[in-house]
Amino acid sequence: MNRLFKNTILGVSYALAVSACSDQSEQITSIDYERLFSPINMKSEIKNDTVSDVTWTSVTGASSYDVEIYEEDANMAFSGTPLKVSSVTAAEALFTGLAWDTDYSVRVKAKGENITESKWTALTFKTNHERLLTIADDTESREVTLQWPIGQTATAIIITPGDITHNITPEELATGTVRITGLTGKTAYTATLKNGKKTRGLVTWTTPIDPLSGATLVTPQDDLAAVLTAASDGDIIALQEGTYNIATINVTKSVIIAGVSVKRKPMLLGTIIKLDNNAGVELKNLILDGTGSTGDQTIVYAAGDNFGALAIDGCEIKNYTKGALYVNYKTKIKSISITNCLYHEIECNGGDMFDFRNGLAETFKFSNNTVYNSALARDFFRMDAPGSTNYPDSKSVITIENNTFYKVINGATRRMLYIRLGNQEIHFNKNILAGTLGYYSNQPSTTITEMKDNNYFNAPNFTASTQVSAKNDTGVYTSLDPGFANADAGNFKVSNATLITKIVGDARWLK
């Protein structure tokens, strides 16, 4: 064993010595291979969604490259007929006109002169999906409306989180619109429009905070009167869209009654709301239609010395015979706030629009509302002296700002502010009054603390009434044509730049 090992070492040493002494010109300076190396660093870059730019590193000795692309071949099986075969001289191949949201496989081999071609190098890529899906309008806390171009085919919409799959109906396909309900407030959602396995669009959004979280959901088929009877103070009654045929709602607990949808407000048809037991109530996103009612005012108060707040927001109130609010008893209300509402076609036959005969509200706020075709032969805000007689220690602060009034109190003897409370304070600012012959007031006890920046168009008697003791606006005001889009159809969008800049009238029409 030792002799063999020593002989091997001597042999290797001799070979090295001979090599070291040989002619340097006989050294190896290049290696010839029987075939080309395969392309390396192969990449795909998606451009313009359905264009793929495939590149690789140039192969030494290659004069051209064969390129094949296969459709729907994520596993790189390369079976069947290629979608396209091409030969290029540069280390790049551009594929255009590919399908949306599709898997492709590409393979490349190098070719040269007098040498065997290389083996294939391959990769896969996927084109981008289409962007057909959009949100039709502002989202709500519990629903969203999605749309895509009419005529484009789709089979389903998938919503996450929640794993909601909505199969598209023929009717929805015809309109390119789907409404998704059952969402949760303050949640980030993704909607994916599918046509089979293909994605045709994707949108993300976050729903707003749900003001009706924890509410009792009610449908038109439910007994709303019974729900209110069973309610406790602080309960939220959420009405699903539809029509509720109910003659009277008795509110004896402080509750919120609100429509689930801002855009598809539920309708209370022929309904009179009666408040008792010092209750407070918030009415939000409702349509109150007095057609077929008993002929009373929309809201009627019973007697009580400590009623909670009344808040009406985002409602449409129409077609009532006698008026919008009636306080005929010894009644004290903590506060009344009416905002962002539409009042119209309220005749006021037998009562005034907002009619306090023997009670008062400690604060009364009326802002960003539009009122038209109402109280044509009656007074608008009526607050009689007995309210202060019944509650001598209470002051009523009345704020009427940023409203649009059109064709109301349309008579030279009809008053906007028929207010005779003994202790009151009125702020009347930035309102539009148009198409009316009414005037402010002729009552010595009417105390207008602030009146400015109002606009009068075809409403001459608010600045120049000849009624005895009339209170005219003698301060800063304008008499500009608001340029309503279509007042007779209920569209009061303002086109007058001055009024828009100064923010005069109901803000919804100034955008």
pLDDT in tens, the chain (511 residues): 333 333 333 333 333 333 333 444 445 444 667 899 999 999 999 999 999 999 999 999 999 999 999 999 888 999 999 999 999 999 999 999 999 999 999 999 999 999 999 999 999 999 999 999 999 877 899 999 999 999 999 999 999 999 999 999 999 999 999 999 989 999 999 999 999 999 999 999 999 989 898 999 999 999 999 999 999 999 999 999 999 999 999 999 999 999 999 989 999 999 999 999 999 999 999 999 999 999 999 999 999 999 999 999 999 999 999 999 999 999 999 999 999 999 999 999 999 999 999 999 999 999 999 999 999 999 999 999 999 999 999 999 999 999 999 999 999 999 999 999 999 999 999 999 999 999 999 999 999 999 999 999 999 999 999 999 999 999 999 999 999 999 999 999 999 999 999 999 999 999 9
Tokens at 457, concatenated? 């168009």
Strand order of the β-sheet with 103-111 is: 84-88, 64-71, 103-111, 121-126
The answer to whether the beta carbons of residues 231 and 237 sit under 8 Å apart is yes
CA–CA separation, 342 and 404 (whole Å): 10
Q: Which residue has the tokens 């306080």?
A: 327
Strand partners, 165: 158
Rg, Å, the chain Cα set: 40
Task: Report pLDDT for 9.
Answer: 33
The answer to whether the beta carbons of residues 322 and 297 sit under 8 Å apart is yes
Q: Where are the domains of the chain?
A: 43-126, 134-206, 295-509
Q: Which residue has the tokens 């009277």?
A: 248
The answer to whether the beta carbons of residues 451 and 473 sit under 8 Å apart is yes
CA–CA separation, 102 and 86 (whole Å): 20
CA–CA separation, 121 and 89 (whole Å): 16
Residues 6+ apart with CB under 8 A from 509: 370, 404, 484, 492, 493, 494
Task: Report pLDDT for 17.
Answer: 35
The answer to whether the beta carbons of residues 422 and 392 sit under 8 Å apart is yes
For 341-403, where are the E strands, in sequence order? 342-344, 354-356, 360-361, 363-367, 370-374, 381-383, 396-401
Nearest 5°: the CA angle 470, 474, 477 is 120
Within 295-423, residue ranges assigned H as helices are 386-390
Task: Report pLDDT for 21.
Answer: 38
Neighbours of 22 (CB within 10 A): 10
Q: Which residue has the tokens 């919409």?
A: 157
CA–CA separation, 487 and 195 (whole Å): 45
CATH class of 134-206: mainly beta
Q: Which residue has the tokens 């002929």?
A: 295
CATH classification code of 43-126: 2.60.40.10
Strand partners, 318: 289, 344
DSSP state of 114: T
Q: Cα–chain-centroid distance for residue 452?
A: 34
Residue type at position 188: A
In total, the chain counts a number of residues equal to 511
Residues 6+ apart with CB under 8 A from 511: none
CA–CA separation, 321 and 356 (whole Å): 17
362 backbone φψ class: left, alpha, beta (φ>0; ψ -120 to 50): alpha
Q: In what helix (H) or strand (E) does residue 258 lie, and over which residues does it extend? A: strand 255-259
The answer to whether the beta carbons of residues 423 and 399 sit under 8 Å apart is no
Neighbours of 221 (CB within 10 A): 8
Q: In what helix (H) or strand (E) does residue 8 lie, and over which residues does it extend? A: helix 2-21
Q: Is 256 helix (H, G, I), strand (E, B) or coil?
A: strand
Fold: same for 43-126 and 134-206: yes
334 half-sphere exposure, CB direction, 13 A CA radius: 11
Q: Is 252 helix (H, G, I), strand (E, B) or coil?
A: coil
